[in-house]
A and B are shown apart, each in its own frame.
Chain A
Amino acid sequence: MTQSNKTLGESLREHGISRRGFLKFCAATASMMALPPSLIPSIAAALEKARRPSVIWLSFQECTGCTESLTRSHSPTIEDLILDTISLDYHHTLQAASGDAAEAARTEAMKANHGQYLLIVDGSLPGPDSNPGYSTIAGHSNYDILMECVEGAAAVIAVGTCASFGGLPAADPNPTGAVSVMDLVKDKPVVNVSGCPPVPMVISGVLAHYLTFAQLPELDQYHRPKAFFGQSIHDRCYRRPFYDKGLFAETFDDAGARAGWCLYRLGCKGPSTYNACATMRWNSGTSWPIESGHPCLGCSEPRFWDAGGFYNPLSVPTTTSGGTLLAAGVTGAIVGGAVAALARKQVKAEEADRQPVTVDELEQKL
């Protein structure tokens, strides 16, 4: 895993790849980055000069779903090219080395590429105030490892909702005190590629962008690349016309569901979820949740685990307040009853104590 100083263009030509092949690579890259084809020439020019960066991948409190997703990215040739082009110097799951050797590789890469390498993180980690014992690697707390690696990183890419927002480990009541990467990293650029897991093409798309332009893509307020997270599922959903017409499936097996109507009433979180599923799709572009008839869970949004039932429509409160309502009603009845009874007593008293108006008193006013 030595670093090559060749540009991508040089490296591709060395592999005997024609200009057509290169253009095709660029077309695929543009598509992956969700950029319009009109940018292919500039992508080509940039890629021609791109150099392979060093990447360190840290996995904390996670389920490896994000790595699974990345390795299932549906354009292996291009992916290979990109992975060939980057230098993945440390990845728990994928690397061959283990134990001290693995940790040594990491330290070495960090030293050699100080200030240059990309740090990818999947999984959330126990915050600085939590018990570090919830998650350690080689005896070091996640927090210490993250801080050590961040120090020399050019940028941090948080892959998955756990790394981006805390995700499942941070779900109420958050026993491990899990926090997201951006909660801890304030002095380095952080890109969040949220999703549980993220769309595989989105992970590689962000890498491709960095590779192509040597800078991070434009981000939204959650530090997510706008190219992928700029529009909601709802806005790009092919079932949107049914929503607009008010045609909804009400159960999973009714005529509306079979006719492919909108899944809002079955709990679809598409309106409040920003992700690229509707265009990128899953499983080699085969389909995506809504196309397969299931409402969007909103997995790329913060706290989606705590946002009420997956099958409750978006407009339904997360707390069913029957108890509160009853308690408030009873209190209201007691207080209201008391106040009103007092008022009634007062009226009676005023009536009883009322001093009659006499003619003499009236005459005084004349």
Chain B
Amino acid sequence: MSELTLERGLAALRAEVDGPVAAFFSSCVHCGICATACPFYVETGDPKYTPILKVEPLRRVWSSEFTLWGRLMSTLGLTKKVTDEMLAEWEELVYDSCSMCGRCSLVCPVGNDIQAMVRKTREGMVASGHAPEGLIAASVRAVQTGSPMGLQWKTLQVQIEHVQSSTGLEVPVDKQGVDYLAMLSSMEVINFPEYLEAITKIFHRAGVTWTLSTECFEATNAGIQIGNKDVAALLVQRIVDAAVKLGVKTVISPECGHAFTAIRWEGPNLIGKPYPFEVVHIIELLDQLRASGRLKTEGKESDRLSMHDPCNLARKSGVIDQQRNLVNLVAENFVDLKEHGKFQWCCGAGGGVSSNERADAIKMAAFKRKKAQIEEVSPERMVTMCATCRTQLEEGLEEFNMDIPVVGLTEMIADHLVEK
């Protein structure tokens, strides 16, 4: 039986080297500015969490095998090799203390996309057997059961029935020929069932034709989080198959950050071809509906609201103005965090950190950055649009005894729909 080995890890790293990687490593001047962009470093002060250091395994492979100078040096035995011991040591740096939020990629003075290189480094970590147990388990469950949390369709079915009875509206399932296929995330289904009800109401009022798919409802992608193309491609393929089978024009990514990155940006490259449909985030869709006048709201929230941008949505996918348009539609006292949009700070839970129980302590340490940001503007409630972020915000605020409820933007919009 085959197993994951160092050699397979190195091969995976080699396969990840490309022009940008070469340009990035050629350009790094070890200035350390990336550390000041990283919540894990900023809140712990431990220099081992410097982002560029996290991708050292990839750098060593590039340097010793993909540069003339490095080849000469390694012929003379003068280069540092990537070993199992090293990778074991780096596991914590690459997974526990990195949410791949991409803030470092935005501040690096020479333009290094460090986040992208962490993603690449994880390929090598997985192939060499150095991924965290929590993420391995999530990946195995996702592949075997269709959900990283082991959620079954029958559980969702119960929720669908509940939504239907409470709203009196139909939740379409496996409907051919509709415009949109809505995806969900397990965490949302379990922690924030309001979401399904909210989109059901909104789509009904806006006249959006949509459906769920019994073959694939899970939008999240454990393969992206753990950093393995094979698992990630397999999970994306399920969505593509479901969308193609139902003939939808557009797939809606739910209130989840990495799911959008997985489906919208990585998916086509994982399966090696463009999709025959479009992908939008629910927030993008809602803003489109707002702009076209199909989304009508009434009344406004009067308390002081602020917003947390999910990294994957804002910094990594350019969805920044949309959520502000929407929140201003229904709130009169909205105030942005000082650093927001593409310069927002990660909640600390993304990039698989929340699926990795071992990282609980540092996850909460990284949250302190968000906490400080929230304290600066002292809102009465926080709005966000990612189930992972929302869970982390709720847990974190509770941990620090801050009485600030967190709401999902979609539900908030649904609450203000004009009654027909």
Give the B-binding residues of A (Cβ under 8 A).
Answer: 335-336, 339, 343, 346-347, 350-351, 353-366
Given contacts A339-B71, A350-B15, contact A362 B139 (CB under 8 A): yes
Chain A residues lying within 8 Å of B133, measured Cβ to Cβ, are 365-366
Q: Is the CB of A360 within 8 A of B71?
A: no
Most central of B3, B18, B68, B71 by chain A CB within 10 Å: B68
**A to B CB contacts below 8 Å, 26 in the list:** A336-B68, A339-B71, A343-B65, A347-B14, A347-B15, A350-B12, A350-B15, A355-B8, A355-B11, A357-B8, A357-B127, A357-B228, A357-B231, A358-B2, A359-B143, A360-B1, A361-B3, A361-B4, A361-B129, A362-B4, A362-B139, A363-B136, A364-B3, A364-B4, A365-B4, A366-B140
B68, A339: Cβ atoms closer than 8 Å: yes
Asked if A354 and B12 make an inter-chain contact with CB atoms under 8 angstroms apart, the answer reads: yes
Nearest-Cβ distance from residue A336 to partner chain B, whole angstroms = 7
A335 contacts B68, CB within 8 Å?
yes
B219 to chain A, nearest CB (A): 20
Chain A residues whose C-beta falls within 8 Å of the C-beta of B3 in the assembled complex = 361, 364
Contacts of A364 in B (CB 8 A): 1, 3-4
CB B155 to nearest CB in A, in angstroms, measures 22
**Cross-chain contact A366 with B230 (CB below 8 angstroms):** no
**CB of B270, distance to nearest CB on chain A (Å):** 12
Contact B66 A358 (CB under 8 A): no
Inter-chain contacts of A358 with B (CB < 8 A):
2, 230
Known: A362-B136, A362-B140, A366-B140. A357 touches B4 (CB 8 A): yes
- Taking CB atoms and an 8 Å cut-off, the chain B residues in 139-155 that contact chain A are 139-140, 143-144
B122 to chain A: closest CB distance in Å? 11
Q: In this assembly, does B17 line the interface, its C-beta being within 8 Å of a C-beta of chain A?
A: yes
B11–A354 contact, CB under 8 A? yes
**Interface size classification for chain B:** 20 to 34
**Is B131 part of the contact surface with A, judged by Cβ < 8 Å?**
yes
The number of residue pairs between A and B whose CB atoms lie closer than 8 Å in the complex comes to: 68
- Distance to closest chain B CB from A197 (angstroms): 53
A86 vs chain B, min Cβ distance (A) = 66
Q: Tell me the bound Cα distance from A363 to B18 in angstroms.
A: 30
Q: Which residues of B contact A354 (CB under 8 A)?
A: 11-12, 15
With a cutoff of 8 Å between Cβ atoms, the chain A residues found around residue B2 in the complex are 355, 358, 361
- Tell me if A359 and B231 are in contact (CB < 8 A): yes
Closest to A332 in B: B68
**How far in angstroms is the closest Cβ of chain B from A205?**
56
Closest chain A residue to B129, Cβ basis: A365
Give B222-270 interface residues, CB cut-off 8 Å to A: 228, 230-231
**Closest residue of chain A to B143, judged by CB?**
A359
CA of A358 to CA of B136, assembled, Å: 11
Measured CB to CB, the closest approach of chain B to A277, in angstroms, equals: 48
Chain B residues whose CB sits within 8 angstroms of the CB of A335 once the complex forms: 68
> A363 vs B141: C-alpha distance in the bound complex, in angstroms?
10
Considering the chains assembled together, what is the distance between the CA atoms of A365 and B4 in angstroms? Answer: 9
CA A161 – CA B32 in complex, angstroms?
56
**Measured CA separation A190–B133 after assembly (Å):** 84
- Which residues does chain A contribute within 8 Å of B127, judged by CB atoms? 357
Query: Which residues from B are CB-within-8-Å of A346?
Result: 14, 65-66
Beta-carbon contact of A363 and B140 below 8 Å: yes
Q: Please, how many angstroms separate the alpha-carbon atoms of A362 and B71 in the complex? A: 33
Residues in A with CB closer than 8 Å to B4 are 357, 361-362, 364-365
Interface string of B5-34 (1 = CB under 8 A from A): 000100110110110000000000000000
Contact A359 B18 (CB under 8 A): no
